[in-house]
Each structure stands twice: as C-alpha cells, then as structure tokens.
Structure 1
Amino acid sequence: MSDHPVSLSKKAWPYVATLSSASVMLLAFFIPSIQDQYDRYQSRKVIGKYVALGDELMDEERYDMAEKAYEKAFELSLQSRLEIEMKRLKARVHRMSLLVEWGAKPPEDLEEVDFQLLLHLQKGPEAAKERSFTLNSYASYLAGSKKYPEAEAALTEALRIDPASAMFHLNLGNLQDQRGKKDEAMKSYLKARELDPKSLNVHYNLGLLYVEMGKNTEAKQEFEAALKISPDDADTQKQLKQLNRKTNEAPPP
C-alpha cells in the first residue's frame, strides 16, 4: 500500500472538466446569444410602439390608420401574437362606422369573413361589450350588402347584449325604415331618443321619418332639437328650410 494516497480531487478533475464542457455546450445551444436577446428586446419595443399607436388611433376613431399600425405590429411579431391580430380585425371591421350613410356600400376590401372571425374570437362575458360593437358594424355591412334579415338578426343580438345602447336602437330603426317598417322604426327611434336625448343623429333621423309619415309639426320639432345640439349642421338646416317652405306653401286646411 502506497504511503502517498492519490487525491480524490485530482482523480475527479478530468470528469468534472468534461462535465463542465458539456454543460457549456448545452447552455450555448439553448440560451440565445446576447445579441439575439438584445434584438428580441428591441423588436418587442418596436412592436409595443406600433400597438400603442394603433390604440391611440382607435380612440380617435381613425380605424383605417389603426388597422395599418396593428398590421405592422403583427408582422413584426412573426404573426405569433393573437391579441394583436384581434386588435387589427377590430379596427378593420369598425371602419363601417366611418360611413356617413347607414347601409352604404361596404369598402371593397372588407369581407364578411373578417366579421365572422372576430365574432368567433369574441366569446365569453369578458368580451361581451366588444362583441356588441362588432355586431353593430356587422349589421351595417350586411345592410350595405342588401342582406336585411341577417342585418336585423345581428342588431337584435347586439341589443340583447347591450339593451341600453341608443346607437344600436338608432341603427335598428334605420334598418326598419329601410325595409318599409315605419311603425317599428318609430318605436326604435323613440327608444333611442329616450336613451340619448342629446344625440343629433337620433333627432335628425326621427325628423326624417316624421316627414315621410306626413307629420310635419313633429318633424319640425325634431329638426329644431337637432340644431340646438349642433347649430351648424348643414343637413339639418337644409331639411328644416325645406319643411318650412313646404308648410308655408301649403293651403290652409
């Protein structure tokens, strides 16, 4: 037996060195380089800025520009972030609300599948409010595509979610008037007026319906109410002038 035993640490060193070398190789394989981490960090920052810009544009109701901002953010995320795609779709379909006339022809690049996909994603109670707005925009798209029963079904569902929305009642009245359902349109307009008595559009559309029904006194009251809200509204001024001229020219009863 030797008087000088071999140190265990010396015997173990080659094995430890080999293990350490393997660990380093594994870490190098799995952990991104410092440059890669920095690039990803910068990319996330840029994506975040595009999303923030899109959010600001949405608040300003500049939906066409918001869609482009979200589209760029989704592209930079390598199409991996579903929440950005939802924001893009939301901006895309809300472009329908920019159309001045209810039931106007939809933009050519907007497709029904855009609404269907967003509605599919907007499920659950936490997304109910956003879903109702999507249904309202969808109804406008359907009305512009001459799909009136489907448009009414979409608005009915939107009102089931949010029965206190004056805008939904107003648009339902627009659709009913468009379909010749004057009495039903009247009920919808009056409900919208009850919910939002300071809405220029509600008073204006109700005034137009009264004119169609030959109720000139009620129409005049609605147009005057609309002008109190927005004195410079050219369309309301024009309708009131035409009504006053028609009333003055009419022979006494």
Structure 2
Amino acid sequence: MTSLEGTLAEQNRPFNDVFTNAAGYAGRRYLWGIHAAHGQPSGISYRDTSVTNWFYSQWLADTLDEPQVEFYLLSASWLVDWNWRSQPETPDGFMRACLSTATNGLAALWTCQRTPPAGPWRMELLGLGYHLGAALQRTLTVNLDQSSRAVYVLGDPTLCSYVTAPASNLTAVTNGFPIRVSLSWTGSPEASAGYYACRGLSLEDALTNTVWSLPVGSTNFTDNAPMAGQTNVYLLRAAQVIDTG
C-alpha cells in the first residue's frame, strides 16, 4: 500500500512522477493506493495543502504516467459529481480515468471523509475472500456513529481476493561460515505454482524486495548470502494459478 502524496514543487507534474518517484516508490507495484486532497472532476492535487499542483485524468492515458496500482481509495471534492458542469455528458472524470488505464486500475473507491485517510473504509473482509460489495456494506453499517454519509464504488463490486492457503511451521536456522540461513516449512495444499521466498530488512521491505522462485513441492530453501550485519526478515508465499473464467 502506498500514498499518492509527493514532495515535488513543480506544478502539473505527470501523475506517475508524483505517485512513484517523489515518494521513492519507482518501479514497484501496489495493490492499494490511498490519497486524500483537493479535487475537481478531472483531477486531484498531489498535496493536501495545495490548490495549484494537480495531476489530471488526461495523463493517465499515457502508460508512462500510469500508476502501478490496482485499487484506489480516494477522498477529494467533485470526483463523483458527474453532472457538475453545464454538459453532464462530459466523458472526462478522474475516477473513471483510473479504471481506464492500459494495464492497472480495477476499482476506485471514494468517500467525502478524509479522517482516517480516505475515509472509514472497512476492508478486512477482503482478506477472508469476500468481495468489494461486502466491504461497502460493512463500511456503511458497522458503526452508525462513524460511517461516512457518502461513499462510492466505481468498478465491479463482485471483485474479490482469492486467498491461497499459506505454508505453515516456517522456521529459519543460521549455520556455517560464511553464514547461511536455511528455511524449512510444511507445504501448502494449494501451492500448485510453487512458492516465492522473499527477504528484506522488514516485513514491508520483504514484500517488494529480494525474491526467489521455488518449484512445486518445495519444503526448504537456503539463502547462501544473507545481508551481513542486518536483521534479515523472510516471507514465504504460496502461489497458485487461478482461472476465474
């Protein structure tokens, strides 16, 4: 997960420049992107305190400026006021543009409430395999005192996460000189595409850094060159190919 907010001083920078390079996220992909700032139907500012530094929907047509994000959580004025202009049929719309990019953008969610960032969305059900519509329903009904008065989902509300059963009993043992780290685990019954072993300085770092692809049936792996003088955090991910039809 990442935020759209950047620190560039230039006005009207392409969307992806602000989204990735300014925050140090260049070259990475994210499942969720969160941003709360000033808005207009065709754009959003990249600093919450700015009303002049904008990126516009037109830039999203260029693959070089396309954010590497699948699901957007947005909070900004006018984004869902489709008929605010004198020509309500105008095709321009920032949220629609987020879903119209070449390779990313599956859904865009909006609320008028900025606190906590991008509103009171309750997404924990997605981790259990429920769909976006269930998350919307929970957001609206879980707490009447905290629920937002205006929420919106643009995209397929039946989209859901397919949860793959993880491996279990993961252990890590250091041995030898130079030091090596040996991982072992009990296999996942659903790892039909093998495993990915990841390493980083933290769990968040491991999600996007050093990755080894391991074959189906693997129950052990040895890192022959762990980072010296650092805490090595390992993440093991079971993989499967899912055909949704």
- Per the TM superposition, whether the score is higher than 0.5 is no
Higher strand share: 2
Higher helix share: 1
The TM-score with structure 2 as length reference comes to 0.29
- Between structure 1 and structure 2, the one with the greater Rg is 1
The TM-score with structure 1 as length reference comes to 0.28
